[in-house]
Structure 1
Amino acid sequence: MSIGSRLLPALVAGCSLIVAQAQPWQSRSAPGEGPNPARAPEPVEVHPASEQLEEAREDLLEAVHVVRRMKADPQVLQLLQRAQGLFIVNDYAHAALGVGVQGGEGVLVTRRGNDFGDPIFFNMGALSIGAQAGATRGEIAFLLMTERAVQRFLDERTFSLTAGAGLSFANYQARGMAATGKLSDVVVWTGAPGLYAGINVGALGVLPDGEANRAYYGRDDATALQIASGRIPNPHRNVLAMVLRI
């Protein structure tokens, strides 16, 4: 056998190796897929805390509108100057004759020095409006005129804000309310027509909304007492305290 015939197989094998190394690399794909299959966009998950935060912000904006309505009355303005706290229920459902009204969400601010502090969010089971007719949807504000009325909100337990719970109540009347020397623990104001007429208004099953408070302040220790004492920094603008500033 000649030297050329012996070298030919080796040359062929070497050329095959060079060609294989020169081919571009391709990623492995699943059967039926191309080398770079298009990936479907992953769905965006909405975290429950984000929903709670948006709801809390909406409640605050509605409470700001309620306070502006209250301040339009000069005598209510005088009451706000003396109040130790303010609990606002932005909206309550239509009431049937002589029964409780479906509850909802409320926002509390308490006095801190000369101004009001940061908002605290609450849930409640129902509003008690006594035996009266004609109540429609609307807003109610409880002006907390004494420290013991405020303290009911800071005990971290369910309570009722009613005259039967050891607090004295008065319904706001446009004449003479702010001029009296002695005030009740709670003065009830409402923007809904036809709610008064000598009836007693109260809140039943009131409890801090832990989820809303934690979402708004971004902290697990955001309790009603901690927020009211100023130990929890507010990461947002305190718009409610700003509009309450006299």
Structure 2
Amino acid sequence: MLTKKLLSFFLFTIFSCQISTASADDYTDIQALVDQSTILMKSFGDDPEMTWFQHNIQYAKAVFIVPQMLKAGFFIGGSGGSGVLLSRDMKTNIWSYPVFYSMGAVSFGLQIGGEASEIVLMVMTDKGMDSMLSTSFKLGADVTVAAGPLGQGAKAATADILAFARSKGAFLGVSIEGAIVNPRDKWNAAYYKQKVSPADIIIGNTTHNPQADALRTTMAEQSKLKTTKVSY
């Protein structure tokens, strides 16, 4: 009983700190997430282990970037992070302005330790795109997800979303399946200075913030047509 209480307190402390930081409706924090996403995408573009990602991002309908996903646990674990989604015009290779989301999960099973991960999700299908524009969805349940960078054969070839991650620290049993993704409406409103939905930003193209142009330019550079397609 004491162990369970200590565990609960441990998880509550870690994720309360993480969530309180990510939930502060402060423009500086929101812009910092955009800047961190830009740095992460440039890093993925230069990483020799991300060859598949680099040659196939041009086929993605959208990309969801989570610069820092925090996980911790001792048989019972939790994870949380904030990210941005940008969609791509398949004809012009012009990327949308970012939409802000949260992603989190509670997990059970063999998992010991803590971890900070950099996660990028490539949205490959219309179903995956529709889910991102919904009020909430669960990875692995509402949409299929497969791991990168080399994929998992047939599963990766048909998955709605492909997940790429780089981790720091030690963690057993890490998986983003079961994670719930929700739009951060307050962050979107604060960044664009008006109440907007993900569809308003992605499809309606009714909002703009020039401070996200560096990220959009980076996305366009990363997704330029490459002559070589790396297979699954």
Instruction: Give the alignment's TM-score, normalised by structure 1.
Output: 0.66
Distance 1:135 1:93 in 2: 8
> What's 2:148 paired with?
172
Bigger Rg, structure 1 or 2: 1
Give the 5 Å matches for 1:1-246. Answer: 52-72=26-46, 73-113=50-90, 114-126=93-105, 131-133=110-112, 136-155=115-134, 157-160=135-138, 162-165=139-142, 167-173=143-149, 175=150, 182-192=157-167, 200-202=175-177, 204-220=179-195, 222-237=196-211, 238-245=213-220, 246=224
> Any gaps of 5 or more consecutive residues in structure 1?
1-49
Instruction: Give the C-alpha shift of residue 243 in structure 1.
Output: 0.5
Give the C-alpha shift of residue 190 in structure 1: 0.8
Alpha-carbon shift at residue 121 of structure 1 (Å)? 0.4
Q: In 2, Cα distance between the equivalents of 1:58 and 1:215?
A: 13
**Structure 1 residue 136, shift from structure 2 partner:** 1.5
Taking the aligned partners of 2:112 and 2:118, their CA distance within structure 1 comes to 16
Q: For residues 129 and 60 of structure 1, do their structure 2 counterparts lie closer, same or farther at Cα, with a shift above 3 Å needed?
A: farther
Letter of the structure 2 residue corresponding to residue 95 of structure 1: A
Residue 59 and residue 217 in structure 1: after superposition, are their counterparts in 2 closer, same or farther (change >3 A)?
same
Aligned pair in 2 of structure 1 residues 224, 128: CA closer, same or farther (>3 Å)?
Answer: farther
**2-structure distance, mates of 1:77, 1:154:** 25
What secondary structure is seen at the aligned counterpart in 2 of 1:219? coil
Question: What per-residue deviation string (whole Å, max 9, x for no partner) do you get for residues 208-236 of structure 1?
Answer: 1111111111112x210100014323132
Letter in 1 for 2:89: R
The answer to which of 67-76 and 125-134 deviates more is: 125-134
What secondary structure, in the 3-state scheme, does the structure 1 residue paired with 2:63 have? Answer: strand
Kindly provide the amino acid, as one letter, of the partner of residue 168 in structure 1: T
Stretches of structure 2 that go unaligned for 5 or more consecutive residues are 1-23, 225-232
Change (3 A) 1:122 1:199: closer
Q: Which has the higher contact order (CA 8 A, sep 6+)?
A: 2
Answer yes or no: is the 8 Å Cα contact 2:101–2:182 preserved in 1.
yes
- SS in structure 2 at match of 1:202: coil
TM (norm. structure 2) is 0.70
Match of 2:13 in 1: none
- May I ask how many residue pairs the two structures share in their alignment? 192
Alpha-carbon displacement from aligned partner over 1:180-211 (angstroms, at most 9, x marks no partner) = 99342111111215789986423633221111
Higher percent of residues as helix? 2
